[in-house]
Structure 1
Amino acid sequence: MKKELYLIWAVILIGAAPLKSKSIVDERVLEPAIIEILYERRMVTDTLQIDTDYRIDYLTYCAGKNISVFYDDKYKSYDSLMAKSPEYVKTYLNDMLNGGKMLKEIGETENETIFINYPAGKVTNHTRHSLCNWIYEEEWRKPIWEITDSTTTIGGYECLLATSNYCGRLWYAWFTPEIPMPGGPWKLSGLPGLILKAHDVKGHYQYSAVHIKLNPGKQIEYFNYVSRIKTDRNTSLKNKRKFLQENVKNLILSSGAYGINSNIKFDKVDKSKPLPHKNYDFEETDYPHD
Structure 2
Amino acid sequence: MYRLLFLLWASFFSAQSYRFVYEYKMKPDAAKKDSVITDYMNLDTDGKKSYFQNGVKYERDSIYNADKSYPALLKSRQYDRNLNYTVEKDYAQKTINFYDKYKTVSIITSDNEAPKWKIVNDFKKINSMNCQKAVADYKGRKWEAWFSKDFPVSDGPYKFTGLPGLIVAVKDSENDHVFDLVQIKKISTVTFFIPKNNKQMTHTEYRKLIKNYTFTSADDIAGMNVDSKAGVIGLELKDGYVTKLDYNELKKSGKQMDALIAKKLRMTNNPIEKD
State whether residues 99 and 109 of structure 2, in contact with CA within 8 Å, keep that contact through their aligned partners in structure 1. Answer: no
Structure 2 partner of 1:4: none
State whether residues 112 and 127 of structure 1, in contact with CA within 8 Å, keep that contact through their aligned partners in structure 2. Answer: yes
Counterpart Cα distance in 2 of 1:81 and 1:189: 30
Counterpart Cα distance in 1 of 2:137 and 2:79: 33
Counterpart of 2:67, as a letter, is S
Counterpart Cα distance in 2 of 1:172 and 1:53: 22
Shift of 1:227: 6.4
Shift of 1:255: 6.8
What is the 5 A alignment of 1:80-119? 80-86=62-68, 88-91=69-72, 102=75, 105=78, 110-117=83-90
Q: TM-score, normalised by structure 1?
A: 0.68
Larger relative contact order, structure 1 or 2 (CA cutoff 8 Å, min sep 6): 1
The unaligned stretches of length 5 or more in structure 2 are 1-13, 225-252
* 2:168 is equivalent to residue 179 of structure 1: no
Structure 2 partner of 1:210: 182
State whether residues 74 and 109 of structure 1, in contact with CA within 8 Å, keep that contact through their aligned partners in structure 2. Answer: no
Shift of 1:278: 5.9
Counterpart of 1:192, as a letter, is P
Shift of 1:33: 4.5
State whether residues 47 and 153 of structure 2, in contact with CA within 8 Å, keep that contact through their aligned partners in structure 1. Answer: no
Closer/same/farther in 2, CA of residues 211 and 114 from structure 1, 3 Å limit: same
Structure 2 partner of 1:280: 269
Q: How large is the RMSD of aligned CA atoms in angstroms?
A: 3.2
Structure 2 partner of 1:169: 141
Counterpart Cα distance in 2 of 1:58 and 1:174: 19
Q: TM-score, normalised by structure 2?
A: 0.71
Identity %: 20
Closer/same/farther in 2, CA of residues 145 and 62 from structure 1, 3 Å limit: same
Counterpart Cα distance in 2 of 1:66 and 1:116: 9
SS at match of 2:190: strand
Cα displacement string for residues 197-241 of structure 1 (whole angstroms, at most 9, x for unaligned residues): 10011110000000023xx242234433x5654131222121112
Q: Which deviates more from structure 2 when the two are superposed, residues 230-239 or residues 196-205? A: 230-239
Closer/same/farther in 2, CA of residues 91 and 181 from structure 1, 3 Å limit: closer
* 2:101 is equivalent to residue 128 of structure 1: yes
Across the two proteins, how many residue pairs are aligned to each other? 230
Structure 1 partner of 2:46: 64
Structure 1 partner of 2:228: none
Counterpart Cα distance in 1 of 2:85 and 2:141: 19
Counterpart Cα distance in 2 of 1:73 and 1:122: 23
- Residue of 81, 106, 118 corresponding to 1:146: 118
Counterpart Cα distance in 1 of 2:274 and 2:257: 30
The unaligned stretches of length 5 or more in structure 1 are 1-30, 96-101
